[in-house]
Amino acid sequence: MVLHLHFYLRVFLWRSAVPKKVLIVDDSQAELHLMQSMLQQGGFHSVGISDPTRIEEAIEEEHPNVILLDVVMPLRNGFQACRDLKSQQPYSSIPVILVTSKSAPSDRYWGEQQGANGYVSKPFTPDELLNAVKRFA
Amino acid sequence: MSHSSVLIVSDDTEFARTVAARWQAERRVPEITLTTSDVWQSSAAEGYNLVVVGPVRDNKISAILTALNSIPTSAAVYVSAEAKNVSHLAAEHPHVLIIPRDDGWIGTLILVAGEALRRAAAIARAQRAERISAEAQRNAVLGRYMLDMRPSVNNALTSVLGNADLLLLEPGQIHPDAREQIRTIHTMALRLHEIMQRFSSVAAEMRAGEKESQAETNSASQISPAGLAR
């Protein structure tokens, strides 16, 4: 029994020590860099991609704990991407936070309809971004 | 509503005096200006809603009527002393109304002039409404553009505010003066953000107002004729 507790404690401590990984998808390099810097400040490890058609590929490679998804992107917008992820079994369990400059209540509602777990409106403070990520990571 | 204006062109002072005096008895008296054919200039007529031409020297009438016929902005009435010329003059100057100076001419003139002034006022109202509508459309286009640009402004503000936040999070690494400047940039960007939020609130309030007004219109249009009859 003691051995078991010891084992679980070690696993817990190990898991706590490993920084959580966040996949950021945004077509703007400036915003990718900004969010990566903010997450780094908050103790997260982040990976950024600017091509929204490569999300699934990036998930397979990086195994992120949370995905930050911009909404307005060429080729595949954040709503579409979120809907696709939430409808595919291997990816549906990964929390998706939409990060968007569309801050109207109708946009937020539409985001929730696509299965998004969180919603961060631009412009955001480092605290707002980190708090949103910490809810799921 | 602006006051109607009438120009009376006549070399017969009695004619001008009679018309002006008769008009004083009406409920609505226009601003009346008297002039003679010597002083009259066609360009001056454009500023009046109505030009009434009375007896003038023979060699002048043709030039005056021709000039008035070419001014579409103001109505023109000619009170002709010679009844036999009326149809000929009317054919020659279709935009000028010709009234023969027979019994009851002054009553006819006041009646016709009243209609012409009412028409001029209606045209002025329509033009004003058109101007207001054009201005409202321009403002609507600008408003839509601002709303369309809101995400782009928010994107730009994200970068400005976020990077300023990150720089301010690292004390000691930046010179105090530069730090103060970054703080100013941050404050100004926050102010821009507030302006955009206020703009969004105004847009939302306007939408809500429009919906409310639309609902009122719809409910008013649903009143049955039977209900109205009661």
Q: Let me know: does A136 contact A65? Beta carbons within 8 Å.
A: yes
Domain interval for residue B65: 5-126
For A126, the closest of B166, B193, B204 (CB atoms) is B166
**Residue-range domain boundaries for chain A:** 20-134
Residue finishing a domain among B126, B144, B160: B126
Residue at B221 is within a domain:
no
The reported pLDDT for the residue numbered B74 is: 78
Q: What is the pLDDT of residue A60?
A: 95
**Beta carbons of A122 and B158 less than 8 Å apart:** yes
Output DSSP code: residue B4.
P
Q: pLDDT tens digits, residue range A19-57? A: 899 999 999 999 999 999 999 999 999 999 999 999 999
Residue B112 maps to a domain:
yes
Contact state of B189 with A72 under an 8 Å Cβ cutoff:
no
Residues of A in contact with B153 (CB under 8 A): 101
Prediction pTM value: 0.61
**CA–CA distances in Å: residue A94 to residues A15, A97, B9, B215:** 17, 10, 89, 44
Q: ipTM of this model? A: 0.72
pLDDT value, residue B133: 95
Cα of B181 to nearest chain A Cα, Å: 19
Considering B126, B151, B183, which residue would you say is the last residue of a domain? B126
Pick from A30, A38, A121: CB nearest B166: A38
When scoring B152, B153, B154, B199 by the number of chain A Cβ atoms within 10 A, the one with the most, hence best to mutate, is: B154
B29 and B111 inside one domain: yes
pLDDT tens string B63-74: 898 888 887 777
Q: Topology of domain A20-134, per CATH?
A: Rossmann fold (3.40.50)
Assign A46 to helix, strand or coil. strand
Q: Across the interface, do A31 and B158 touch by the CB < 8 Å criterion?
A: yes
Nearest by CB to B155, from A28, A35, A41: name it: A28
